[in-house]
Structure 1
C-alpha cells in the first residue's frame, strides 16, 4: 500500500508515492511554473524521468496528469492515503490531523500567519480531495513539532494582548525535517533518541536550527514567520525591528515593500549582490569576489552563534546535525562553522567531511569531540510515516 505525499506551493507541487514502512518510492516528481506558460510535471519513475505538459497550469491539471500516470502504471488502486505538508498550524495543531471540514477551517484561520504558504496548501488539499474522493487525507504541519517549546522560548517581549488576541509568538518551521534528522542522527550515533540533546541545522534556501531534547523541540531559530533567525538565501533572518520604520522613511518604501525586500532581496543575495545559491557564492569567493566572501562569512558566523545559543535550551549538547541542500553538501560551510564552535568542543575530520556530500551521510567529527553528523533529510518519507501513524490511531 502506498501513501501519496504532496507539498503544494504557490507555483509548484512536489509529489511522492511512498511505502511508509520501507521508504521505497514508486514515483516522485515536481510540477513547476503553475499559472504560467510552460507549466509541466516532471516525474521520476523506476529510474526514468519524463515531463508532462500541463495545459492550463493549475492544481486540477497537476492532479489530472498525476491520476493518468497512476492509472497507466496500475498504481491508483494501491494509494491508500494522501499526506499533505501544511506550513502553519498555529497553536491549534501539535500533531498531524486527519483533514475534515473543521480541520480545513482551522488551517484557513492560520492563513494570516502564513499568507504565502497556507492558501497554497489549502488549494492543494481541495484539489487532492476532488482527485481522490473517499481517500483519507492527513495534514502534517511544519509548526507542530515545535509546539513542545516551553513558554519561555516561544513568547516575545511584546504586549500580552498581542499574543492573547492575535497569536503573536514564536512558532518555528521545518519541523518535519528537524524531527526526521534527529531520529536518523540517533540511529547513526547508536544511541537512543530519548537520551540525546541535539542541535539540528536545516540549511537550504530557508534555514533554521532547533534544540531537540529527547526527541522534542525545546527551541528553534524561526519565529512568528519563516523570516526570523539565520541568514538564508534571500531572507534576512534577524534584524532590528526598528529597521522597518527607518528604511521605510529613508527609502520611501511601504511596510509591504520593506517586508518583501527582507524576504526576497536580502540574505545571501543581498549581502553578496550576486546570487542566493551557496554553490555559486563559494565559486565566486574562490575567484576573489568580495561580496560573496562577505555573504559566506556572515552566514557561518550567524549560524555558529545560533547553534551555540541552542545550548542554553539544552543544558549540554551531545551532537550537532547538518541537513538540507547546504548542510548536506557545503563542505567548507560545515568546516568553517565547526571551527567557530570550539566552545562546544567541536572538531572536524576533514577527510570525513569531504566525503559527506551528494547524498552520502556520515559522522564528520574528530573522535572525542562533539559528535557531528551529516544526515540527508527526507520530509516526504516523514510525512508518509506521520500519515500512516495518524490513520492508525483510534
Structure 2
C-alpha cells in the first residue's frame, strides 16, 4: 500500500508552462489513494483549465482569496489545516520569492503562510532565472524555513534553443518525494556526522583557463542526500557544478583541490567520510596572473605540480573519521587499481567505476559500481545514481552496525 493512501494533499498549481504536468500528477496521486484538493493561481488558468483540473481531481478547484462563500468560514485557513501535505507545482520564481518574503497576496500565498503541514515545491523556470542570485537566496531561505524541494531537472526549455537546469520534476518524481515525506523512515545514521566531496576541481592556468574534468557532481550530491535521508548530519564540499544544493545539507563551495582539502579538514571530526569528487591530480606550478597569449614561438610550456591527495590525507589523518570511503574512477585495470588505492590511501572501502567514454558514467545519470573492501569485491548492478547512493547509505549503516545510534 502506498504511503499516500487515505492522505489529503493540497496541490497549488502555479503559472508556468509546466502546469500541464499537473494533470498527470493528479492522476498519479489519486492512483495511490490520495485525495487531491487543487488550488490554481490566476496565472495557472492561462495554461490549464479549472474544468480539466477539477474533473481529474474529482474535487472543487479553489482560486479566489476573496470568495464570499468560501471565506465565510475563513476558507484559506480551513484549506491550510485540513491537508497533510501542500505541494506547489510548478513552483515559479515568483511564487518562491513571495513565500520567502512572507507575502500572502492571493489564496495560494495565504495557504502557504497558514499551513502547519509539510510543504513540497517543484521549481520550474528558465535556467537564467534559476541561477539568478535572487532565486538562489530565496531557495536558501525557504530551505531554512523547512520547505522541501524536488527538482528541478536538466533538459530542453520551452524557449527555442535553450537548455539547462530548470525543468519541473516529472510527476512520478514528485509522487516519490511526497511518499518520502509522508511515510515514516528508518534513520539508522541519526546522531552521526558525515562529510562528502562532489564534483570536479578547477585548477587555474591563467585568469581565463583551467584544468578540469567532466564530473557533473550527480553521484556525490546524491550520496549527500541519501546520507541526510538516513539521518546523518551532512557537510557537502562541492567543486564547481550546475546542480542545486541538496536541501538539509551544509554545503561548502570550492574551486581547487587545495580549497577542497581545507574545507574537508575544517569539517572534521566526522563519523563518516565519502570522497566522490573527481579531484584534479595536477595543477599548474605557477599560475599566470595575465592571460597567456599566442606567440610565434608556439604553445607555452606548462610546468605541473602534484595536488594534495585528499583521500590519502584524511585516510591517515589524526582526526580520521571512523569510516572512510573513496571512489576510483578508472579506464583500465579497474579492480587492481581499486585494491591498490584501498591499501595505499587508508580507506575502508573503494567504490570502483569504469569511466571509459563509451560507458557514459562521467556526466551521466547511471553508474555501475564494484564495492572493494579488505573482505573482497561486491558487484552492484547498473543503477541510477540516486539508487546507487541509497544502496551505499544502506551499506554504510550495516558496516557501522552497533555504533549507529538509532
TM-score by length of 2: 0.29
Greater helix content: 1
With the length of structure 1 as denominator, give the TM-score of the two structures: 0.30
